[in-house]
Amino acid sequence: MIFIKTPEEIKIMAEAGKILAKIMKQLMGMVEPGITTKELNMAAESHIFKFGAEPGFKGPISKGYGGFPTALCSSVNQVIVHGVPSSYKLKQGDILSLDLGLRWKGYFADMAVTVPVGEISPEAQRLIKVTKKALKRGIKKVRPGNTFGDIGNTIQRYVESQGFNVVRELCGHGIGKGLHEDPQILNYGKRHTGPKIKPSMVFCLEPMVTTGDWRIKKSKDDNGFETTDGSLSAHFEHQMAVTETGVKVLTELE
Q: Which CATH number does the domain housing residue 245 bear?
A: 3.90.230.10
Determine, yes or no, domain membership for 105.
Answer: yes
Amino acid 116 reads P
Determine, yes or no, domain membership for 254.
Answer: no
Residue 183 preceded by cis peptide, ω within 30: yes
Q: How far apart are CA 251 and CA 248, in angstroms?
A: 9
Q: What is the pLDDT of residues 82-108, one digit of tens each?
A: 999 999 999 999 999 999 999 999 999
Determine, yes or no, domain membership for 2.
Answer: no
State pTM to two decimals. 0.96
Number of domains composing the chain: 1
Q: Which domain holds residue 194?
A: 7-249
The Cα-based distances of 249 to 29, 38, 106, 141 in angstroms read 22, 29, 20, 13
Determine, yes or no, domain membership for 131.
Answer: yes
Determine, yes or no, domain membership for 215.
Answer: yes
Q: How far apart are CA 67 and CA 46, in angstroms?
A: 19
Q: Which residues pair with 204 in a beta bridge?
A: 173, 239
Determine, yes or no, domain membership for 1.
Answer: no
pLDDT at 59 over 80: no
Cβ proximity of 24 and 100 under 8 Å: yes
Amino acid 102 reads L
Give the pLDDT of residue 67: 72
Q: How far apart are CA 6 and CA 21, in angstroms?
A: 22
Determine, yes or no, domain membership for 75.
Answer: yes
